Amino acid sequence: MMRSAFALSILAAGVAMSLLPGCVPPGALTLQSAAQALLTSFAASDANADDRLNFAEARSSLANLTQALFDQIDSDSDTLLSTAELQSVLGIGEGEGEGEGEGEGEGEGEGEGEGEGEGEGEGEGEGEGEGEGEGIPDLGPNASLNGAQILPVDNPWNTPVDTMPVDPNSDNIIDSIGRFENVHPDFGANYEGGPFGIPYIVVAGNTPGVNVEFDYADESDPGPYPITVDTPIEGGPDSDGDRHMIMIDRDNWILYELFYAFPPAESGMPFTAGSGAIFDLTSNELRPDGWTSADAAGLPIFPGLVRYDEVVEQGEVNHAFRFTVRNSRRAYVPPATHYASSNTDPNLPPMGMRVRLKADFDISGFSENNQVILRALKKYGMLMADNGSDWYISGAPDARWSDDELNELKTLEGDNFEVVQMSNITVGD
């Protein structure tokens, strides 16, 4: 219903402007004809619920209109869209074309479950980056999201914890991870020949789905998953690490994640993976209690990555980060839903535990980009999501990272962090 009303509003505007002599420059696409094409697309979409309208394509066609057309619209009319509304829909105006060519290639990374060793460092260079404008993610591997909101603002990943109490067992837990062990940014521009980290790809809503067979099918979402030939695998195609695959459907705002993913061994066979999870990025819904995801804690991976487009392009990060530890507890705390340990020691960190950088830690001597990361660590902290190397912070690969700059973060130690108060801990038998 909303789509039809929207389309009819555009059509009405087109009819009104077609009556204004000389308002359409020669050779320009009229709003009326563009709206008619949009209505046809809606009709096709209604006829087949699975064939959703690609708004990016519709906007691309409509974007050929000139600003002169908008000036003729009666913004007070109940039947017409205002100039601001049309500009917002069409992506015209301030922010249009931002981020063009953003997004780096597949890079690979230090597998967080592989001890101290870093990943294979495979990278493809810059991603497709379509310059869609603020709030609309670009397409391609490791593409810029242009400030798009990942999960609701009140989601646990996006909730400030800088004023929450310190957990009474904080000191013991920090000691168990390593009070004087250094933090390690598990991402960057160049390791063994290319960017490294946990890669992702932004895809269009009409990307065909691919069937996947799972080792842990009882705790995996069946899919299909929008895997393309460009979808990067963590560690590269020959990796023996975690082999995560992450896909973001920008039109339907759905996150797809796979753990230990492999392409078909031969034609006609399906992809295989250890586990897989699908998340609605407009929802706060958690995995079923006791379920894993593509991460040991049952959490989504992508919302916790340190990304170049946020740190450098946006200059602000408004969410927690993901990190790993070597030894975890057989327990989890919300928003985690799964544990991955046989050790019941209460001084070990449970999955989903959050730590934050202490408020009095002086960040003034760090680079501007690192200060963005450190401010987020103070305000939002980071969630323990997998077994791996101690104090490894996860991020996305990008050839534009400065590894020398990121290495400044290695001066941080466990002693600079504290555990945020935990509640509702689920302890395994």
For the chain, domain boundaries = 2-90, 140-427
**With bands split at pLDDT 50, 70 and 90, how would you rate the model's confidence at 59?**
very low
- Helix or strand holding residue 368 (H, E): helix 368-379
Q: Which residue has the higher pLDDT, 409 or 20?
A: 409
What value does the mean pLDDT of the chain take? 79
Instruction: Give the span between the Cα atoms of 61 and 37, in whole angstroms.
Output: 9
Which pLDDT score, from 0 to 100, does residue 83 have?
39
The answer to whether 138 and 129 are in contact (CB under 8 A) is yes
**How many CA atoms, within 13 angstroms, populate the side-chain half-sphere of residue 124?**
22
DSSP for 293-330, please give it. -SSTTS--SGGG-B-HIIIIIIS---S-EEEEESS--S
Q: What is the pTM of this model?
A: 0.71
Q: What phi and psi, each to the nearest 5 degrees, are found at residue 106?
A: -65, 100
How is residue 40 annotated by DSSP? Answer: H
The answer to whether 107 and 123 are in contact (CB under 8 A) is yes
Res 30 pLDDT > 50 = no
**With bands split at pLDDT 50, 70 and 90, how would you rate the model's confidence at 133?**
low
**Model pLDDT for residues 266-318, shown as the tens digit of each residue:** 888 899 999 999 999 999 999 999 999 999 999 999 999 999 999 999 999 99
- Helix or strand holding residue 41 (H, E): helix 31-47
For residue 204, the tally of other CB atoms under 10 A from its CB is 16
Which pLDDT score, from 0 to 100, does residue 267 have?
86
Any idea what the Cα angle at residue 310 is, between residues 309 and 312, rounded to 5°? 70
